[in-house]
């Protein structure tokens, strides 16, 4: 019985591998901020359903919240805000706090659209 179950599950396992694909959704691949911080609004060609902040260096992620129609994702010194109109967004506001650490720093934003995602590296000078 176990062999039959394994044989039946193999196609499903193979289909699930590689389901998410990094693609160019028309957004920049890098956004740079000065040490003073600030905010930048960027847009792309394709719409996305949600945005996440990641620190690929240590595996941490941002925390999501919603205030009215505005979706927010915050992690340490970076905030991402966007408005989902009928589930999709095409513009994202990136807000960086001033960098007082004395070192250059960076985080990654993933804009997700179905099984596709676009990665933006956000870099802030010291």
Domains annotated on the chain, with CATH: 21-124 (2.60.40.10)
Judge whether residue 1 has pLDDT over 90.
no
Quick: pLDDT tens for 7-63: 444 444 444 445 779 889 999 999 999 999 999 999 999 999 989 999 988 888 888
Q: Could you tell me which residues come within 8 angstroms of residue 14 by beta carbon, excluding any fewer than 6 positions away? A: none
pTM value is 0.81
Compute the distance between CA of residue 30 and CA of residue 84 in angstroms, rounded to an integer: 23
- Indicate the SS3 state at residue 76: coil
Report pLDDT for 18.
55
Compute the distance between CA of residue 82 and CA of residue 60 in angstroms, rounded to an integer: 21
Of 37-41, 55-59, 72-76, 102-106, minimum mean pLDDT range: 55-59
């Amino acid at each position: 019985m176990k062999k039959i179950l394994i044989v039946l599950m193999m196609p499903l396992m193979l289909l699930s591998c590689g389901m998410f694909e990094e693609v160019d959704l028309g957004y920049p691949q890098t956004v740079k901020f000065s040490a003073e911080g600030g905010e930048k609004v960027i847009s792309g060609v394709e719409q996305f359903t949600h945005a996440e902040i990641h620190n690929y260096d240590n595996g941490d992620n941002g925390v999501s919240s919603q205030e009215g129609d505005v979706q927010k994702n915050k992690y340490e010194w970076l905030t991402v805000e966007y408005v989902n109109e009928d589930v999709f967004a095409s513009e994202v506001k990136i807000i960086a706090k001033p960098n007082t650490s004395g070192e250059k720093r960076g985080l990654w934003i993933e804009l997700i659209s179905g099984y596709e995602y676009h990665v933006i590296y956000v870099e802030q000078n010291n």
